[in-house]
């Protein structure tokens, strides 16, 4: 299949591209820099130079493809509204380009905010609608295209897609611990985070491309929920730092923007996903990764 991948040079995208190429798909990756273009070309992928804001380029990439996997995100935590607007515009553009084709459109999403008091499941619809909601309401917008003849599949990644080289949320929490000289956890540290290893996440996306039906919500989740206190304890072990509770009122001040997420319950299951795809996560757990030096050997 000719697959157009945005975010192909990213943490998850680069694993996805490896899996797609290994499965003999023809991959075109969106690249906005020479370095990203060179990395993609070195793997044997085609390159489409462009930016998320170049909607004509995104449309052309989608129209030339037999499937789109949208993983790019600006991730500007100082201006989430701008990131969300770009995300929504890209999803609208890709959906319009694929309308009436029945071709696959897989897009990145997450599990934050899906549920409050229980682990999120694939059956929990996203409550986020419209441009002012998290991620610009992109999951629901993309799913609306199912009725317009697009095989939309949502890829809900765990809040940590971990492994050596990760620069995401756990790397940020570890950086805060090193800056502050203490590995903190919010409150009593019983709120939980789901997790998945990057290699398992990449494999899930490639399987989703081949097997998931229109309208499917897939959970890239290997571990349902690790208490944040255990995450902080592992970070404390590897950096030889004391571990302590951070009172709810001090979480924002202590952790900065990542505090909002670290204080949330972000647990989720993947029972349906595992059945639908025949996907069994095999990678190390988050704590195994931390203890093995995935976040400290640099």
Ligand X SMILES: NC(=O)c1ccc[n+]([C@@H]2O[C@H](COP(=O)([O-])OP(=O)(O)OC[C@H]3O[C@@H](n4cnc5c(N)ncnc54)[C@H](OP(=O)(O)O)[C@@H]3O)[C@@H](O)[C@H]2O)c1
CB of 32 to ligand X, least distance (A): 4
CB of 198 to ligand X, least distance (A): 8
CB of 288 to ligand X, least distance (A): 17
| Sign of the alpha-carbon torsion through 118, 120, 124, 126 | positive
- Between residues 161 and 238, which has the closer beta carbon with respect to ligand X? 161
Sequence-distant (6+) residues with CB within 8 A of 132 are 81, 84
CB of 238 to ligand X, least distance (A): 19
User: Which 8-state DSSP code applies to residue 134?
Assistant: G
The gap between the terminal CA atoms of the chain, to the nearest Å, is 37
Residues making contact with ligand X (CB under 6 A)? 7, 9-13, 30, 32-33, 36, 51-52, 71-75, 108, 110, 157, 159-161, 168-169
**Which residue has its beta carbon closest to ligand X?**
10
Q: Which residue has the tokens 């071709």?
A: 103
CB of 247 to ligand X, least distance (A): 26
Neighbours of 81 (CB within 10 A): 11
CB of 162 to ligand X, least distance (A): 7
Side-chain half-sphere of 91: how many Cα atoms within 13 Å?
Answer: 29
- Between residues 80 and 227, which has the closer beta carbon with respect to ligand X? 80
Distance CA 173, CA 178 (A): 9
Contact 215, 143 (CB under 8 A): yes
- Between residues 49 and 247, which has the closer beta carbon with respect to ligand X? 49
Sequence-distant (6+) residues with CB within 8 A of 292 are 284
- Between residues 159 and 281, which has the closer beta carbon with respect to ligand X? 159
DSSP string over 241-277: --EEEE-GGGHHHHHTTHHHHHTS-B-B--HHHHHHH
CB of 199 to ligand X, least distance (A): 13
- Between residues 89 and 182, which has the closer beta carbon with respect to ligand X? 89
- Between residues 44 and 242, which has the closer beta carbon with respect to ligand X? 44
- Between residues 26 and 51, which has the closer beta carbon with respect to ligand X? 51
- Between residues 106 and 243, which has the closer beta carbon with respect to ligand X? 106
Describe the crossing of helices 169-180 and 228-239 by its angle, rounded to 10 degrees.
60
CB of 104 to ligand X, least distance (A): 17
Q: What strands, in cross-sheet order, belong to the sheet with 46-49?
A: 46-49, 26-31, 2-6, 67-70, 104-110, 151-157, 216-220
Contact 289, 295 (CB under 8 A): yes
């Amino acid at each position: 299949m000719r697959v157009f991948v945005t975010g192909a040079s990213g943490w998850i995208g680069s694993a996805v591209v490896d899996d797609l190429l290994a499965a003999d798909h023809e991959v075109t990756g969106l690249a906005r820099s020479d370095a990203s273009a060179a990395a993609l070309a070195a793997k044997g992928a085609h390159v489409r130079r462009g930016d998320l804001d170049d909607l004509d380029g995104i449309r052309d990439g989608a129209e030339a493809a037999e499937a789109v996997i949208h993983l790019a995100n600006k991730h500007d935590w100082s201006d989430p509204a701008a990131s969300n607007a770009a995300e929504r515009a890209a999803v609208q553009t890709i959906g319009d380009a694929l309308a009436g084709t029945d071709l696959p459109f897989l897009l990145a999403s997450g599990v934050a905010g899906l549920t409050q008091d229980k682990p999120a499941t694939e059956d929990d619809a996203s409550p986020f609608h419209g441009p002012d909601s998290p991620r610009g309401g992109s999951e629901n917008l993309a799913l609306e295209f199912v009725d317009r003849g697009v095989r939309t599949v949502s890829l809900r990644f765990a809040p940590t897609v971990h492994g050596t080289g990760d620069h995401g949320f756990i790397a940020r929490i570890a950086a805060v611990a090193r800056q502050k000289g203490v590995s903190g956890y919010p409150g009593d540290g019983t709120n939980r985070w789901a997790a998945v290893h990057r290699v398992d996440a990449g494999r899930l996306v490639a399987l989703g491309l081949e097997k998931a039906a229109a309208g499917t919500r897939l959970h890239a989740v290997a571990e349902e929920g690790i208490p944040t206190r255990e995450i902080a304890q592992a970070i404390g072990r590897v950096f030889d730092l004391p571990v302590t509770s951070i009172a709810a009122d001090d979480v924002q001040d202590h952790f900065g923007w990542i505090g909002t997420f670290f204080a949330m319950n972000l647990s989720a299951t993947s029972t349906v996903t595992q059945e639908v795809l025949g996907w069994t996560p095999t990678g190390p757990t988050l704590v195994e990764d931390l203890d093995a030096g995935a976040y400290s050997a640099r």
